[in-house]
Amino acid sequence: MAVGLPENIFITKLDAAANWARSNSLWPMPFATACCGIELMATAASRHDLARFGAEVMRFSPRQCDLLIVAGRVVMKMLPVLQRIWLQMPEPKWCISMGACACSGGVFDTYAVVQGIDRFIPVDMYVPGCPPRPEQLLQAVMDMQAKVRRTGTVMGREFAIRDMPAGPAPFDSDERYRIEDTRLVQLGGFSAAATSAGRGATQG
């Protein structure tokens, strides 16, 4: 303190100050759809106590939150809701994708389940497991804090450069082959729902 600053005054970078504040007051928005939501509850409840890490202020309104925790599978009917909630959250915001289903569809490789939310919304942190143990989620929250501290900027420059989707293209090659296949089968045979295949395929 040779410069002669008065006591209780620190010099730091604005970014570092903002990151310190942001990382220690993450307000999660629990988007709990399925079984992982119960583990999310367990993380916040008596034994594991998320409050120890400064992230217990669960708010169910997206306007008040900055950490979206997607816990559970997201299906066709739910995805637009998820997107809207993500868009409603104010900046800066982060997203944790909790559980195999949210990350990749998990055991549900079926017609209704979106195979990983990162195809449609940006994701910062993935937590594997079905369901992840509460300890894993705690670790993810701590990692998230470390990441905010490491990469954050006041103006959100680290977000602006991420202009590519986080996950694979919605219609990856596998899916496109399969759609083509079913369409061929349909053209040859029954045509009860040929239109639906058409709609799906033109998107790819």
25 binds another protein (CB under 8 A): no
Q: Beta strands 28-32 and 67-71: pairing type?
A: parallel
- Contacts (CB under 6 A) with ligand SF4, residues 15-34: 34
With CB under 6 A as the contact rule, the residue among 18, 20, 27, 35 that binds ligand SF4 is 35
Burial of 41 (0-12, 13-18, 19+ CB in 10 A): middle
Stretch that binds ligand SF4, among 54-62, 76-84, 96-104, 168-176 (CB under 6 A): 96-104
Stretch that binds ligand SF4, among 15-23, 85-93, 95-103, 136-144 (CB under 6 A): 95-103
- Contacts (CB under 8 A) with another protein, residues 49-78: 60, 72-73, 75-78
How far is residue 17's CA from residue 11's CA, in Å, rounded to a whole number? 10
126, 140, 128: which is closest to 43 by C-alpha? 140
- Contacts (CB under 6 A) with ligand SF4, residues 164-193: none
With CB under 6 A as the contact rule, the residue among 70, 89, 101, 179 that binds ligand SF4 is 101
CA Rg value for the chain: 21
**CB-based contact 115:88 (threshold 8 Å):** no
Compare residues 3 and 161 and give the one whose CB is closer to another protein.
161
- Contacts (CB under 8 A) with another protein, residues 84-103: 84-87
How far is residue 22's CA from residue 124's CA, in Å, rounded to a whole number? 15
126, 111, 109, 106: which is closest to 77 by C-alpha? 111
Q: How far is the CB of 15 from another protein (least distance, A)?
A: 18
123 binds ligand SF4 (CB under 6 A): no
112 binds ligand SF4 (CB under 6 A): no
